[in-house]
Structure 1
């Protein structure tokens, strides 16, 4: 009995401090950056990146984010999507920064590609993917010649079930055994989400590039990829030169050809690690790419807090916010994510703030919302879940003509096309077939709660709670068992005393005693499981 109580006391002392020392990724959130996001149905998934905890002055270090979170687009938390941290993520799934999540919105998967480690780099022999229906992870094989890269430009083309990733860094943080300087790659990687196969495609040129942004536009015969910004590594030795913001790279998916077009207007300052998202009116007379934030090119360490719009096919940059001549603020940040929801709003999440020690809207999980239809004075708004209609903002209409529902009159660059073929693509709207799922999809998946998976890593709060409750139940059973054994021994002893004739005990006979020690500690297995759970628990 005494050893059991000592064991249970030790168990509680192990659980208590570990649980108190653990941070809650929602309640204790201060900042996040370098993460990746994926939009499936009414959930915006958040994976990886680095975290800062509150209060920041007591938690100045950056911590790798081991959690898979999601923001519910149907629930509000102070006007922004409410965030949850109750999803499975085994310890075998990498916790990386600067990667991408390719979302297959039809089959309800997302695939984790790229990213760098804070510690020792791991081999890239399998591509992790997450099943949003059943809250579980799996992997698919990767080619032996495919290296992990970080901070490239990625985009998922849901209409084609394809993921793309241009450029990115190879370094000791991405490839085991790497020595020497980081090197930016020049190639475009294409991933088929159905066949689970990769293709390595030539990039715009042979220069390495990284830290720019790429979006998909439904133009041409099968869609276009548009890339801009970031850095160039022309010598492939980790050097950084600016990729000019007026140089726009366009990839035609059907022909596999790259084009370059020069943009005009209010061209933004050169930058990297910004985020961008695209939308368009129903008539496709313009495609408007919204850019936010970013970081200057070394030696310029400026962090930007501004919004620009690149309108195509006029290839005209428009400064949307703040007004020209406005003094820069300390809120500039970079290494963040942008997600366009229903073509009407853009959720901007996280970022690194080099010029301030303030937390990033902790009560809203570091989420901000841009109304893509508003005007420059009212673009920052609370999230509206039911907003589904996009109107071209007046600042864009002033530059390209037309109205809120489209009808743009400026349909060519002011200085002409750098390639006449490119102009033809913007006169066409692709006939992309509606995809059907390749597996059984239950009805009403958009509002369902994911089924709990096997939490091999113990990254849920429920794990520690379950361990404690399980320990209490086990203790109760052990105590009852001990009481029953003691009572049974006492009963048998009384029976023997009653039946034994008077006299002394034989010298060879030893009194029966309850063994207070055991070869197996009654909480050994539970303690071990508890340690695993608490090392990774929310």
Structure 2
């Protein structure tokens, strides 16, 4: 009987496996979501996540992205004016392809580290992998100490100047932890990885509440910088009964002192959301730090969001910048946001719950925010321009908080 069931499993899965092997991640692209990204030396790397193939009506399944891709940030090779994408990098099947993790980028040594994430099927034992961008080579790092677990859909950030990677909260579940038999559990720890010393630290969060599916960004303020966290869900009773995090509640971690602070934001408060993305930039004189948020999924019965907000610090003011009124027409979450040269933010991919349309296949699901709205279109959404490398504080921020 066991042999018969095994043969049936192979028969049912062989068509999907064969289809995946025949697809080209560039020419057959339809949609991608849940992936991890990192920027090193003018390349935006895309790892893992899920993909749909074109036409999606004939390929309705979500496939694991097993390729390591990158966008060339010095080119706009597509007709849609976005960075050209390539799929010629090395990645064999021993390296995990997961969703909801992070890539910590080490700009000095030209390496990124793959942490966290979950599998579509049964998870493997946690192994910590690094990709050497100069050698086009994946390397398995030394063992991870006890107490450091693979979690997924937490919030991660990298501090390039210090060589630190951080990851706050996230889920423990049957897709990331072998042998997990209980309900998914949101964690409350802040994981720190020192890339130079190859050392891990398991720090406490702002409280004991489990959190996941929010975002965390780094700001070069204070002595050692700040980590700013908001959004997502909370698991206050540690039993899987989740509630949405109020978007006016901002958690700030001071890196130098390892202390958490709470701050209440005002202004045009975004609706509660999960699995959205965000990126940070700042004025040249550091008079304001502006965190750009895009999209996300709803908490309960709300499908999702197609909108953009700015959280401006130090005033902690929320400013809605897209659309000018009402709601956007294509709500989606599970996208990635990467700020390039402090001036533009590439928003890649997303899961569209309300339709089965492909996500701009001519530009491989790549969209660009001109953060200073100072491009040829004088608009937030614009083509990508490699020569725009300076951030000008845009009118919506000046109108709300002052400055110039």
TM-score range, shorter chain: over 0.9
More strand by share: 2
State the match for 1:28 in structure 2: 28
Query: Residue 288 and residue 18 in structure 1: after superposition, are their counterparts in 2 closer, same or farther (change >3 A)?
Result: closer
State the match for 1:66 in structure 2: 66
> Aligned runs of 1:170-181 on 2, under 5 Å?
170-181=172-183
Query: Residue 20 and residue 180 in structure 1: after superposition, are their counterparts in 2 closer, same or farther (change >3 A)?
Result: closer
Query: Residue 18 and residue 230 in structure 1: after superposition, are their counterparts in 2 closer, same or farther (change >3 A)?
Result: closer
Could you tell me whether the CA contact under 8 Å between 2:303 and 2:354 is conserved in 1? no
Structure 2: tracts of 5 or more residues without a match: 1-16
Q: What is the aligned counterpart of 2:201 among 199, 202, 217? A: 199
The alignment status of 1:352 with 2:348, answered yes or no, reads no
**What is the TM-score normalised by the length of structure 1?**
0.70
CA distance in 1, matches of 2:19, 2:309: 45
State the match for 2:53 in structure 1: 53
Report the CA distance between 1:145 and its aligned residue: 2.4
State the match for 2:140 in structure 1: 139
CA distance in 1, matches of 2:334, 2:18: 31
CA distance in 1, matches of 2:239, 2:113: 29
> Aligned runs of 1:135-534 on 2, under 5 Å?
135-140=136-141, 141-298=143-300, 300-324=301-325, 326-329=326-329, 331-374=330-373, 378-403=379-404
State the match for 2:39 in structure 1: 39
SS in 2 for 1:305: strand
Report the CA distance between 1:327 and its aligned residue: 4.4
CA distance in 2, matches of 1:67, 1:152: 23
Structure 1: tracts of 5 or more residues without a match: 1-16, 404-538
Could you tell me whether the CA contact under 8 Å between 2:68 and 2:87 is conserved in 1? yes
Report the CA distance between 1:20 and its aligned residue: 10
After superposition, give the CA deviation of every residue in 1:100-122 in whole Å (9 maximum; x if it has no partner): 00000111000000000111111
Query: Residue 228 and residue 35 in structure 1: after superposition, are their counterparts in 2 closer, same or farther (change >3 A)?
Result: same
Higher Rg: 1
State the match for 1:516 in structure 2: none
SS in 2 for 1:391: coil
State the match for 1:107 in structure 2: 109
SS in 1 for 2:273: coil
Could you tell me whether the CA contact under 8 Å between 2:226 and 2:252 is conserved in 1? yes
CA distance in 1, matches of 2:144, 2:265: 37
Could you tell me whether the CA contact under 8 Å between 2:306 and 2:327 is conserved in 1? no
After superposition, give the CA deviation of every residue in 1:410-457 in whole Å (9 maximum; x if it has no partner): xxxxxxxxxxxxxxxxxxxxxxxxxxxxxxxxxxxxxxxxxxxxxxxx
User: Which one has more relative contact order, counting CA pairs under 8 Å at least 6 apart?
Assistant: 1
State the match for 1:442 in structure 2: none
Report the CA distance between 1:398 and its aligned residue: 0.6
Could you tell me whether the CA contact under 8 Å between 2:307 and 2:327 is conserved in 1? no
Report the CA distance between 1:176 and its aligned residue: 0.4
Report the CA distance between 1:18 and its aligned residue: 6.3
State the match for 2:84 in structure 1: 82
CA distance in 2, matches of 1:129, 1:301: 37
State the match for 1:478 in structure 2: none
CA distance in 2, matches of 1:379, 1:263: 23
CA distance in 1, matches of 2:305, 2:331: 4
State the match for 2:10 in structure 1: none
CA distance in 2, matches of 1:186, 1:160: 24
Report the CA distance between 1:70 and its aligned residue: 0.5
After superposition, give the CA deviation of every residue in 1:465-493 in whole Å (9 maximum; x if it has no partner): xxxxxxxxxxxxxxxxxxxxxxxxxxxxx
What count of residue pairs does the alignment treat as equivalent?
A: 383
Report the CA distance between 1:302 and its aligned residue: 2.3
Report the CA distance between 1:75 and its aligned residue: 2.0
Report the CA distance between 1:378 and its aligned residue: 1.2
More helix by share: 1
CA distance in 1, matches of 2:292, 2:219: 13
Could you tell me whether the CA contact under 8 Å between 2:306 and 2:332 is conserved in 1? yes
Structure 1 segments of 4 or more deviating over 2 A? 17-21
**What is the TM-score normalised by the length of structure 2?**
0.93
After superposition, give the CA deviation of every residue in 1:66-119 in whole Å (9 maximum; x if it has no partner): 110011111222210100001001211111000000000111000000000111
Query: Residue 327 and residue 169 in structure 1: after superposition, are their counterparts in 2 closer, same or farther (change >3 A)?
Result: closer
Query: Residue 174 and residue 18 in structure 1: after superposition, are their counterparts in 2 closer, same or farther (change >3 A)?
Result: closer
SS in 1 for 2:303: coil
CA distance in 2, matches of 1:197, 1:97: 24
